[in-house]
A and B are shown apart, each in its own frame.
Chain A
Amino acid sequence: MVLALARTWSGYRTAVRLGWLVSSNWTSPVPFVIYTIIRPISGALILVVMYNVITGGRGNTRNYLAFLVIGVSFWAFVTEGVSDFAVGILEDRGRFKMLKYAYLAPLRFPVFLVGRASSKLTSAVASVAIVLVVATVGLRLPINPLSVDYPLLAIACLLAFISVMAFSIALSVVLLAGRDAYGYGEIMAQVLYIVSGAIFPISVLPGPLAFFASLSPLVYWLELTRRSILHGRVYEMFPGLSDGEVLTRLALATAGTVLLGYLVYRWADRQARWKGYIDMDAAQ
């Protein structure tokens, strides 16, 4: 039992390290850091300019600016965890032609996938932190690191990461069926962007979409990140719910996502083995 756990841990660490190397060893550290932060910073700038154009930066709308900035900064976790992860797995198969070897290794394949996803989520931390620091200084947002509710933020992020991993692992195995599916991970991340309350409250969405969005764990995660960082000084999507109630909803939505992700993964994995997707030459 202990030996099995040690082997799993060792395999997990190897998968994390592999993921990190594949993501970063194409250049030296400085260009890599610039590459990591330029996308979220630009995304945040787009929203800040849109906000300024409409509101003129009036004082009574600052809560909404905080809502936008925190949403877009934490979104880096979803971009890395869903879009970049899916592309990474497809590249493992199509470009590097090593996915079948990961599948053949004594390590269980889901552990390899969790390791690869972990490296993606970890690499997003720097981008989240930098966007928040830049926004705090540049936009004079009242973010004080000493008054952040870290336990709430940590629990919310942990649950969100579990649901993002469950979703992206299932998605990436489904995408193995496609010969040229590189863009689908990004499209899925964009769809989640719409239904997650990252850059606008889900109440703006048309009725059925708003209901669908309310089932997503990402909505409750982002609400909790905003509350834990700027409680009372940020626009809230669920002003009638306490922190505990939002956390409960996040936990339930995460459990649902993990269950659904597991079922989809099992089905997609069977399909992949049956139809030879694991080592399919996607270039043909």
Chain B
Amino acid sequence: MKSSPSEFEIFWRTVLARAYPRVVGLSRNLSWLFFDFAFPLVGTFAMVFVYQGLHAPRQYLGFVVMGGGMLAFWQNVLWTMGTQFSWDRGNGTLELMAVSPTSFEAVLLGMAGGAMIMTTLRAVAIIVLGSLLFKVTYNLGGLPPAIGVFLLTLAALYGLGMLLASLFLYYSREAWHLGDAIQEPVNFLSGLYFPVHALGAYVGGAASLIPVTLGLDAMRQFLLPGTPRFLDPALETVIVALEIPLFAILAVSSLRFMEVRARREGKLISKWS
């Protein structure tokens, strides 16, 4: 008789199973591909034109183009990971996940892994296209450390995404509107379109809790010489690295708490209300 798979095996099977539709599904639904590509690109172009209207140095166009690349990840975390449980609840998948022997963490990790591959490709496309169109040049010597910071930022960002997703286990329309409401403030606080230095010590310090803020600033310092320094890029990298376990622990605790609350009040099976 075949023995039951271990918890470890179930965890990784779930990760792969949830990542699979994210990767394969994109080639089957070209409208998603268009949306994920077009949305950050259009927003990026708008901000480039603002700088051109202000006769800003070309270096600032580089800030915007890199910010546009990171926006693709933030959008992805917010709308296809954070809010995914809301869709899953609506179509009945959430209750199936809850009664299966797997965990929500595995499901979310699969979502993140699957989405990360495609979003990275899209972000690269945005940066390449934006850089060519607006003649942005980079310090290629800074590429290896920038890639390292980028990977750390992604890990922390997807931890934040898991934390947001936990809200959707319990809340319905409120959390959806929360996602809508935090989009623009995060764009502001993370300095997607301007150097973080411009936020000042207090606001910039508080905004450092968003992984994109320090990660993007460090990447800019490595790739765009002359970027006004908010913190030393090495220190920014360390802080982003510390945010990875911080958000992971918060996400797991929040998932447990929200799951218990949702089970107690029947929210796992309640539809959009």
Contact, CB under 8 Å: B183 / A50: no
Residues in A with CB closer than 8 Å to B173 are 26
Contact, CB under 8 Å: A50 / B194: yes
Name which of B30-38, B143-151, B234-242 contacts chain A.
B30-38
Contact, CB under 8 Å: B46 / A50: no
Q: A42-B184, A187-B42, A283-B91 are in contact. Are A50 and B35 (CB under 8 A)?
A: no
Q: Is B47 an interface residue (CB 8 A)?
A: yes
Q: Is B230 an interface residue (CB 8 A)?
A: no
Residues in A with CB closer than 8 Å to B51 are 50, 54
CB distance from B216 to the nearest CB of A (A): 14
Cβ-Cβ contact count across A and B, 8 Å cutoff: 102
Contact, CB under 8 Å: B52 / A39: no
Q: Which of B39, B53, B181, B188 contacts A46 (CB 8 A)?
A: B188
Residues in B with CB closer than 8 Å to A27 are 174, 177
Nearest chain A residue, comparing its CB with the CB of B29 = A180
Contact, CB under 8 Å: A45 / B32: no
Q: Is A194 an interface residue (CB 8 A)?
A: yes
Report how far A34 CA is from B181 CA in the complex, Å. 9
Q: A186-B39, A187-B35 are in contact. Are A50 and B184 (CB under 8 A)?
A: no
Contact, CB under 8 Å: A39 / B183: yes
CB distance from B43 to the nearest CB of A (A): 6
Contact, CB under 8 Å: B31 / A178: yes
The proximity string for A residues 181-200 relative to B, scoring 1 for CB distances below 8 Å and 0 otherwise, is 10110110011011000011
Q: A27-B174, A187-B38, A187-B42 are in contact. Are A54 and B181 (CB under 8 A)?
A: no
The proximity string for A residues 18-45 relative to B, scoring 1 for CB distances below 8 Å and 0 otherwise, is 0000000011000000110011101101
CB distance from A89 to the nearest CB of B (A): 16
The proximity string for A residues 251-279 relative to B, scoring 1 for CB distances below 8 Å and 0 otherwise, is 00000000000000000000000000000
Report how far A205 CA is from B52 CA in the complex, Å. 9
Contact, CB under 8 Å: B52 / A200: yes
CB distance from B228 to the nearest CB of A (A): 8
Contact, CB under 8 Å: B193 / A50: yes
Nearest chain A residue, comparing its CB with the CB of B79 = A183
Q: Is A3 an interface residue (CB 8 A)?
A: no
Contact, CB under 8 Å: A42 / B54: no
Q: A42-B187, A187-B38, A199-B46 are in contact. Are A54 and B56 (CB under 8 A)?
A: yes
Q: Which residues of A contact B (CB under 8 A)?
A: 26-27, 34-35, 38-40, 42-43, 45-47, 49-55, 64, 68, 95-96, 178-181, 183-184, 186-187, 190-191, 193-194, 199-201, 204-205, 283
The 9 A-B residue pairs with the shortest CB-CB distance in the complex, in nearest-first order = A200-B53, A42-B184, A26-B173, A183-B35, A190-B42, A54-B54, A42-B185, A39-B184, A42-B188
Extra contacts, 5 of them, besides A183-B35, A199-B46, A200-B52 (Cβ < 8 A), are: A46-B193, A55-B54, A68-B50, A95-B272, A199-B53
What are 12 A-B pairs with beta-carbon distances under 8 A?
Answer: A43-B184, A45-B188, A46-B192, A49-B198, A54-B56, A64-B54, A95-B90, A180-B29, A187-B39, A193-B46, A199-B50, A201-B53
